[in-house]
Chain A
């Protein structure tokens, strides 16, 4: 992946502050117009609204219209606090097909992975599909032998770096690690391009925040271990602590605190800042991305089909729906995630996923949270 000259636009993308927006939902079209027993759901139902959803192009990729209808009952374990937003997508698909019902259960990704592994070991799987906001928990379930293979149509639609090497899970929405910072307190030139330079940057001393108990942060440290080494991760954590850093219990709080000036900058997934920006349009908040290191990790929300299912065909068809142009538009405009198919753009001025420069690692290996937690405890971060 090459980095382009887009750093200024990349850094400024959140500054579309007062942009009016909303009314620009052009391109609504009715789905299923030529189908008889299906309820119409249009692209505008999938699309979000608000200042960050500028007038957008018609999404490319495979439309739901071109997929086989969903029919039957599917049980989905939904990992992660943003489950509420993903539930909306399940609701939309239920609306689209009269004969389709989803039972879901929302919990933390990691807890659900543990539950799935326990169920699988006891031979009493309850769910057909695991949707998770973290590749690490998908990897853990896959490594426990609790998954079935995914349909090739689904795997083909997504770049190889955002799916499991053995095709056991596939990403459906990207989440980039980023540095949210307060534009009143810092200028873009204050922020280094390597995450490893942060502890040595005087402007950031004693004024950054992180959320070390948060799964996404631990994945970031796991990525640093994979990309460099345990020792590098250890010394980075140590020097960040010596540099002075405040602890939060989640990354929305980190982003929010950067927006209100309590922090100058922090470590968080990119979409939390967009969420803050979406609620408070004039917040002096922007995002910075590092280059080619764990600081620019792109983790994924992904899904896998569980081996206890006797619904594999429906589950496979469901996976293809989640990767349809409409569903991808949903993730881009409602959860501010990176779409996984090339035909759909990220929101606002977010750099394209190809313009990011993430570290070259196998996301399935993010499952080694255990080693990361040991290391973090060792240096006293946890």
Chain B
């Protein structure tokens, strides 16, 4: 009896497994409990918001400022998302489907900008292209008096796009790699042009991948405070920050609720694109489409990759280098950068990554294998925390921890929980897409061989989805390394990380002291990015 026959017979036997009707219930209950925990920070937002008198609430919601920041935020999110797709998708196509020279190298440089915190990117761009910046200094001897300003909407879009497009690049790349190239070949033999084949075969297959990346970009943009603040563009997060600083917590909460409405709208749009999972469930990537010959497009293609790498990597690292060289003398004693800062950051990020993986698995499994809207609801819920600014999560967890788990207040548990709330969807997304690629009949086969549900999951599914889990862990790791506001508010006394150190010296206007830790941050996060790329092959 050949192996395939044997498999066939096992598959037939798999129907037996259907009788364990209670096992999805257990899974659903676990996922429900997790979802409620993940949503707990919203409880504070509701409590605070409800304390605002109705009159003031209405006044705030319909005020001119609120309208302005809503429009500004909407414009910003749309522009950054669109621009990220325009950069991320071509880069993914070039590095997966063409004969681009030095493909490995360009894959790495295209993914790496994600390790640069966008606020550091923003400083670098202001430093380089701001009035009296490096570029202005360079051009001054040539008689060029002033350069167009980098501040405002265009600067904010530029910086946010350059440091978040890798989300689109990575998810698109992953779906390109796993998608079956024979379909394209078939289309080509049917005389479809290359473009038609792309539009009618490739695009529908990779659309959920693009949408998944675009969702991360859009929600990141929605929740980011640092970049718009530095680039002087008014958005929701700045208004929330201002209210928080003025200790108007009720107003900050009401604004956060409005922000959540925007996030729900984005999630709804993405659901419509991502819902057609047909494209996501594909065999394995054994059959890639034949390489596209770039021909004389090779040089422009490499030029495009090089331009992005120069803007996203060479420029910020160069500016950090300049700060390093120019920083004069030793730091004041309170500013000594210690190895402990790095260890603390790495430890926290690793803890957050590990916990996210564990929490993401059941959510992703239920969403991938469950039927209907209800089972994918927890997956949607996991995105809510990602859209809420870190400062709101921080305030909320201070409030909740003090009241409900005072013994955990100012402990690393609360801090790691904050990271899980913020960054879980990055792990859920990658885990879910790898589960979708596992043929469901395998696990049924294992069940029919008498393994329990957990054992068969461990023996059959886990090895197959491990690469997706590792990629998710690495994503959580590097975003946790960069996180500032929640870290600042929730860290235990005396516990400092790389970013809290950067915040301290930057706040005291000793930016030269921030260069070394920023370079270390980029370096350590860069290593975890290599893990993601290695897993994808």
Determine the distance from Cα of A370 to Cα of B244 in the docked complex, in whole angstroms.
10
Contacts of B245 in A (CB 8 A): 108, 110-111, 213, 215, 218, 369, 373
Query: By the criterion CB–CB under 8 Å, are A83 and B246 in contact?
Result: no
Query: By the criterion CB–CB under 8 Å, are A373 and B242 in contact?
Result: yes
B141 within 8 A of A: no
- Of the candidates A122, A249, A252, which one forms a contact with B229 in the assembled complex, judged by CB atoms under 8 Å apart? A249
Which residues of A in the span 104-119 have a Cβ within 8 Å of any Cβ on B?
Answer: 104-108, 110-111, 113-115, 117-119
Query: By the criterion CB–CB under 8 Å, are B334 and A87 in contact?
Result: yes
Knowing A84-B335, A107-B489, A118-B398, the reply to whether A213 touches B246 (Cβ < 8 A) is no
A124 within 8 A of B: yes
Query: By the criterion CB–CB under 8 Å, are B504 and A106 in contact?
Result: yes
Which residues of A in the span 288-323 have a Cβ within 8 Å of any Cβ on B?
Answer: none
Query: By the criterion CB–CB under 8 Å, are A103 and B493 in contact?
Result: yes
B247 within 8 A of A: yes
Name the residue on B nearest A263 (C-beta). Answer: B131
Query: By the criterion CB–CB under 8 Å, are B244 and A111 in contact?
Result: yes
Knowing A88-B333, A104-B493, the reply to whether A213 touches B64 (Cβ < 8 A) is no
Q: Encode B107-133 as 1/0 by CB contact (under 8 A) with A.
A: 000000000000000000000000110
Query: By the criterion CB–CB under 8 Å, are B402 and A118 in contact?
Result: yes
Knowing A249-B230, A377-B65, the reply to whether A81 touches B508 (Cβ < 8 A) is yes
Q: Encode A354-382 as 1/0 by CB contact (under 8 A) with B.
A: 00000000000000011011000100101
Query: By the criterion CB–CB under 8 Å, are B489 and A262 in contact?
Result: no
Knowing A118-B398, A119-B402, A372-B246, the reply to whether A84 touches B332 (Cβ < 8 A) is yes
Determine the distance from Cα of A91 to Cα of B403 in the docked complex, in whole angstroms.
34
Knowing A87-B334, A373-B246, the reply to whether A380 touches B493 (Cβ < 8 A) is no
Contacts of B333 in A (CB 8 A): 87-88, 91
Name the residue on B nearest A82 (C-beta). Answer: B508
A266 within 8 A of B: no
Contacts of B410 in A (CB 8 A): 126
User: Closest approach, in angstroms, between the C-beta of B25 and any C-beta of chain A?
Assistant: 37
Contacts of A87 in B (CB 8 A): 333-335
Contacts of A124 in B (CB 8 A): 402, 406, 409
Determine the distance from Cα of A72 to Cα of B336 in the docked complex, in whole angstroms.
24
Determine the distance from Cα of A289 to Cα of B237 in the docked complex, in whole angstroms.
34
B54 within 8 A of A: no
Q: Encode A253-282 as 1/0 by CB contact (under 8 A) with B.
A: 000010011100000000010010001000
B488 within 8 A of A: yes
A58 within 8 A of B: no
User: Closest approach, in angstroms, between the C-beta of B251 and any C-beta of chain A?
Assistant: 9
Name the residue on B nearest A76 (C-beta). Answer: B493
Query: By the criterion CB–CB under 8 Å, are A114 and B131 in contact?
Result: no
Contacts of B99 in A (CB 8 A): none
A86 within 8 A of B: yes
B62 within 8 A of A: no
Determine the distance from Cα of A82 to Cα of B503 in the docked complex, in whole angstroms.
10
Q: Taking chain A's interface residues, is the majority helix, strand, or loop, or is none over half, making it mixed?
A: helix
Knowing A107-B489, A124-B402, the reply to whether A213 touches B247 (Cβ < 8 A) is no
Contacts of A257 in B (CB 8 A): 131-132
Knowing A213-B245, A260-B132, A380-B65, the reply to whether A252 touches B489 (Cβ < 8 A) is no
Determine the distance from Cα of A107 to Cα of B332 in the docked complex, in whole angstroms.
18
Query: By the criterion CB–CB under 8 Å, are B334 and A218 in contact?
Result: no
Query: By the criterion CB–CB under 8 Å, are A114 and B247 in contact?
Result: yes
Contacts of A218 in B (CB 8 A): 245-246
- Of the candidates B131, B332, B334, B509, which one forms a contact with A252 in the assembled complex, judged by CB atoms under 8 Å apart? B509
Contacts of B246 in A (CB 8 A): 110, 218, 369-370, 372-373
Contacts of B328 in A (CB 8 A): 279
B510 within 8 A of A: yes
A85 within 8 A of B: yes
Query: By the criterion CB–CB under 8 Å, are B243 and A373 in contact?
Result: yes
Which residues of A in the span 177-221 have a Cβ within 8 Å of any Cβ on B?
Answer: 213, 215, 218
Contacts of B55 in A (CB 8 A): none
Contacts of A83 in B (CB 8 A): 334, 504, 507-508
Query: By the criterion CB–CB under 8 Å, are B232 and A213 in contact?
Result: no
- Of the candidates B248, B494, B506, B507, which one forms a contact with A373 in the assembled complex, judged by CB atoms under 8 Å apart? B248
Q: Encode B306-325 as 1/0 by CB contact (under 8 A) with A.
A: 00000000000000000000
A80 within 8 A of B: yes
Query: By the criterion CB–CB under 8 Å, are A369 and B398 in contact?
Result: no
Contacts of A118 in B (CB 8 A): 398-399, 402
A245 within 8 A of B: no
B241 within 8 A of A: yes
Determine the distance from Cα of A248 to Cα of B130 in the docked complex, in whole angstroms.
12
A75 within 8 A of B: yes
B373 within 8 A of A: no
User: Closest approach, in angstroms, between the C-beta of B338 and any C-beta of chain A?
Assistant: 13
User: Closest approach, in angstroms, between the C-beta of A142 and any C-beta of chain B?
Assistant: 13
Contacts of A104 in B (CB 8 A): 493-494
Contacts of B366 in A (CB 8 A): none
B206 within 8 A of A: no
B505 within 8 A of A: yes
Contacts of B510 in A (CB 8 A): 84
User: Closest approach, in angstroms, between the C-beta of A359 and any C-beta of chain B?
Assistant: 21
Contacts of A275 in B (CB 8 A): 509
Query: By the criterion CB–CB under 8 Å, are B398 and A382 in contact?
Result: no
Name the residue on A nearest B409 (C-beta). Answer: A124
Determine the distance from Cα of A380 to Cα of B66 in the docked complex, in whole angstroms.
11
Query: By the criterion CB–CB under 8 Å, are B508 and A105 in contact?
Result: no
Contacts of A81 in B (CB 8 A): 503-504, 506-509
B63 within 8 A of A: yes
A140 within 8 A of B: yes
User: Closest approach, in angstroms, between the C-beta of B155 and any C-beta of chain A?
Assistant: 13
Q: Could you pull out 16 A-B pairs where Cβ atoms are within 8 angstroms?
A: A81-B504, A85-B332, A103-B494, A105-B491, A105-B494, A106-B504, A107-B489, A114-B249, A122-B402, A126-B493, A213-B245, A218-B246, A247-B232, A249-B229, A370-B246, A373-B243
Give 5 A-B pairs besides A118-B398, A272-B509 with Cβ atoms closer than 8 angstroms.
A82-B507, A88-B333, A90-B334, A91-B333, A260-B132
Interfacial residues, chain A to chain B (CB-CB below 8 A): 75, 80-88, 90-91, 103-108, 110-111, 113-115, 117-119, 122, 124, 126, 140, 213, 215, 218, 247-250, 252, 257, 260-262, 272, 275, 279, 334, 369-370, 372-373, 377, 380, 382
Interfacial residues, chain B to chain A (CB-CB below 8 A): 63-65, 131-132, 229-230, 232, 238-239, 241-249, 328, 332-335, 395, 398-399, 402-403, 406, 409-410, 488-489, 491, 493-494, 500, 503-510
